[in-house]
Amino acid sequence: MNILEAFRIAVGSLLLNRLRAILTVLGVVIGVAAVISIMSLGRGVQQYVA
């Protein structure tokens, strides 16, 4: 199996399970946004206190 065939299988799987793929991407986006927000909040509090 080469890379192109693996890519075709992955895309086919994503198209068949569209809702699961959308929910997975949404979860990753929310997780990254939460981490960035917490880090920004911590840095802001640190600068406010110092």
The contacts of residue 28 (CB under 8 Å, 6+ apart) are: none
50 DSSP 8-state letter: -
Which residues constitute the domain of residue 26?
Answer: 19-44
What is the Cα–Cα distance from 5 to 9, expressed in whole angstroms?
A: 6
Residue 9 lies in a domain: no
- Read off the pLDDT of residues 1-50 as tens digits, 9 standing for 90 and up: 799 999 999 999 989 999 999 999 999 999 999 999 999 999 999 999 97
**Count of structural domains, the chain:** 1
The answer to whether the pTM exceeds 0.75 is no
13 in a domain, yes or no? no
pLDDT, residue 36, reads: 98
Report pLDDT for 50.
78
Task: Name the packing angle between helices 3-16 and 18-49 (round to 10°).
Answer: 90
Tell me if 11 is assigned to some domain: no
Q: Are 32 and 39 in contact (CB under 8 A)?
A: no
